[in-house]
Amino acid sequence: MHFNYTADSLFLEPPHSHDPSNVSHVAALPADMLSQLPEPVQNALWTLQESTSVVYASYLRLQALLDERFDRLTPLPGMPGSYSETSFFNYINAVSAERAYLLQDAHPDWKHKARLAGLLSPNSPYANIPVTYRGQSMTVAEWMQQLSAAEELWIQSARDAVLPDFEGTVLEYQSQSELESESESATPSEASFSEDDRCWGANAPVGVVRKLPDAVKPQIGHAQPQLHPHELGPERIVQALQAL
């Protein structure tokens, strides 16, 4: 069987930037392996790496959009708890467009570039070339199968993605906000402690002598006032704290 290794010089550009080096760990072959392949095949593999980068960039963009669903809820002025359905509709359109781009444009383009490389076929004259890739011994065909499996994983994730709807997202956001509010109210804050608690070190560990504010320390060289038996003067406060 004759393989046409003339690579298509054009590749599908996504509606946002991409960097082929981001997928070099899965889509780039070691230099010693590439040197065993003719130049047209090397060019085809570079084109395939670019196409892999396009798929990966679109996959990441789709995941980022799905994670932004709460941030895309635009509050309506003067209507607490209400959000703009029109604004969210535009967001849903963006998610749908990205998903459609990945499944209907980027993925078919990748399949086309993979066929151009011709390394998935067991009949390829280069399929059985041995190589050590990321510490593992494999053939060129096995490496290509790993790359194909990675691309299919991204595509399957897009197929399985559940597109957000307005009412469901609002309910989910309100439910999460209520849980966060309950969690915050159950945790004592600094404001829950009185000024006296902070001054007297009420939260100091047991056995640690609390340091008294200067205002209540005994003044050396001055006569100490006479106390009523039931009054707590500075000395008695110190003794009480040291006894803890």
Cα angle for residues 9, 10, 11 (degrees, 5° grid): 125
The confidence score (pLDDT) of residue 25 equals: 64
pTM: 0.66
Residue 81: CB atoms within 10 A of its CB come to 9
Which tens digit of pLDDT belongs to each residue from 12-66?
A: 555 556 766 667 666 677 677 777 788 888 888 888 888 898 999 999 999 999 9
Question: Could you tell me the CA-to-CA distances from 14 to 53, 99, 103, 171, 215 in Å, in that order?
Answer: 10, 12, 12, 33, 70
What is the structure's pLDDT at 241? 43
Asked if residues 5 and 115 have their Cβ atoms less than 8 Å apart, the reply is no
Hey, which residues does 132 pair with through a beta bridge?
137
- Per-residue tokens: 43: 């060019």
pLDDT in tens, 183-200: 777 665 555 555 555 444
Q: What pLDDT, on a 0 to 100 scale, did the predictor assign at position 31?
A: 76
**Please, are residues 170 and 73 in contact by the beta-carbon 8 Å criterion?**
yes
pLDDT of residue 243: 42
Which of the pair, 79 or 217, is modelled with greater confidence?
79
Mean pLDDT, the chain, whole residue set:
74
DSSP single-letter state for residue 23: G
24 vs 179: which has the higher pLDDT: 179
Mean pLDDT of 203-220: 41
Q: What per-residue confidence (pLDDT) applies to 195?
A: 54
pLDDT at 10: 44
Better pLDDT: 124 or 133: 124
